[in-house]
């Protein structure tokens, strides 16, 4: 990099943090290219999950989360990311081109970056303590700052959402291709660089009150308190956009990252839930019955307090930076 630009070690450090972003089944469907004055994010379709995510929506949302992570990492390292989203109409997998501007890091930038390695997807039952409205309002404000609507689902809308989650689970579990794909990506062996390890999958029931969690491969993670299975007070926040195209999904992924990092900073446990939006019928149910047909749902985020004395969750594996970052070929 030339003067006035971050050096290569800085960018590699930022990409390493970006790759800690959550992704559907920890598939990490992204790749990065380092240009002379810029950093580029591409979707890696070879890591798509066609049975779980036939439209590729989860894949783009995952990449959006990585894009926000790299923005946060760069800000903490003293660089403002100037992002050009979908910069090349002829290359739809080219999701972002990032340029840089010197900018001193603020305390909030450093706090969010510090939350990146601490963030976990917690699939366990949450405690019976409700999340204060002030915190959920702050989480929704974080999504709005990324251009994405966020709504905490309560009352009848929550019942409709829970029904959509259960219905989607039934549809998917009847599909042998879905079951095979789930076996491939969950309960992965120690030393794998992607997928969801058994150590991050709860043992026993995945039914928490009226909420049915996705049935992954058998897990090794103990539930801290069996009573929580019926007393879980986690909040459900739906992220939605005015359109349902790749730009909207990319933005939704950035908002997902913003919400998850803010929740982590606040000490909350959190878990993205994409299952009700992976089936066309239930996605339409969420759009019409939960959101009133006004916006397009992109992701559900479950937040709450971890159970009392809950063991810390291990980090899920990540592909090494050398496998996802390359120098851009010069013409």
Residue 123 neighbours by CB under 8 Å, 6+ apart: 200, 201, 202, 206, 213, 216, 221, 271
Q: What is the pLDDT of residues 146-161, one digit of tens each?
A: 999 999 999 999 999 9
Closest CA to 253 of 71, 115, 99: 71
d(CA 165, CA 177): 19
Cα angle: 215, vertex 60, 68; to 5 degrees: 105
Domains of the chain: 8-116 (3.40.109.10), 133-304 (3.40.109.10)
Q: What are phi and psi of 64, to 5 degrees?
A: -60, -40
Mean pLDDT across the chain: 94
- Does position 1 have pLDDT exceeding 50, yes or no? no
d(CA 132, CA 277): 27
59 — pLDDT class (breaks 50, 70, 90): very high
Percentage, residues of the chain above pLDDT 90: 87
Task: Work out the end-to-end distance of the chain between its first and last CA atoms, rounded to an integer number of angstroms.
Answer: 18
pLDDT at 11: 97
Q: Match 């840089």 to its residue by tokens.
A: 100
Judge contact between 97 and 81, C-beta under 8 A. Answer: no
pLDDT at 228: 62
d(CA 79, CA 20): 19
Residue 40, strand partner residues: 33, 97
pLDDT at 200: 96
pLDDT at 3: 62
Percentage, residues of the chain above pLDDT 70: 97
Judge contact between 21 and 66, C-beta under 8 A. Answer: yes
- Does position 263 have pLDDT exceeding 80, yes or no? yes
- Does position 106 have pLDDT exceeding 50, yes or no? yes
- Does position 142 have pLDDT exceeding 60, yes or no? yes
- Report field, pTM of the whole predicted structure over 0.85: yes
d(CA 61, CA 40): 16
């Amino acid at each position: 990099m030339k003067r006035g630009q971050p050096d290569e070690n800085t960018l590699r450090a930022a990409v390493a943090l970006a790759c800690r972003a959550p992704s559907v089944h920890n598939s990490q469907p992204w790749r990065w290219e380092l240009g002379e004055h810029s950093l580029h994010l591409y979707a890696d379709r070879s890591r798509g999950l066609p049975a779980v995510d036939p439209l590729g929506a989860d894949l783009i949302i995952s990449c959006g989360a990585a894009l926000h992570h790299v923005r946060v990492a760069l800000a903490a390292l003293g660089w403002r990311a100037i992002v050009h989203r979908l910069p090349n109409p002829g290359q739809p997998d080219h999701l972002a081109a990032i340029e840089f501007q010197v900018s001193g890091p603020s305390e909030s930038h450093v706090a969010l970056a510090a939350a990146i390695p601490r963030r976990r997807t917690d699939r366990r039952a949450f405690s019976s303590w409700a999340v204060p409205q002030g915190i959920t309002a702050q989480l929704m404000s974080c999504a709005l700052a990324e251009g994405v609507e966020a709504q905490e689902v309560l009352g009848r809308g929550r019942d409709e959402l829970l029904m959509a989650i259960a219905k989607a689970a039934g549809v998917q579990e009847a599909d042998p291709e879905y079951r095979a794909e789930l076996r491939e990506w969950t309960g992965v062996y120690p030393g794998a660089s992607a997928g969801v390890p058994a150590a991050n999958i709860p043992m026993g029931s995945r039914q928490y009150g009226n909420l049915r969690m996705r049935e992954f491969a058998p897990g090794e993670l103990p539930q801290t308190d069996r009573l929580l299975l019926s007393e879980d007070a986690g909040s459900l926040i739906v992220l939605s956009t005015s359109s349902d195209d790749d730009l909207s999904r990319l933005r939704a992924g950035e908002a997902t990252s913003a919400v998850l990092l803010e929740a982590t900073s606040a000490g909350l446990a959190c878990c993205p839930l994409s299952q009700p939006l992976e089936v066309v019928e239930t996605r339409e149910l969420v759009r019409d019955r939960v959101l009133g047909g006004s916006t397009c749902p992109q992701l559900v985020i479950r937040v709450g307090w971890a159970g009392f004395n809950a063991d810390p969750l291990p980090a899920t594996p990540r592909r090494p930076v050398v496998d996802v970052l390359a120098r851009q070929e010069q013409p």
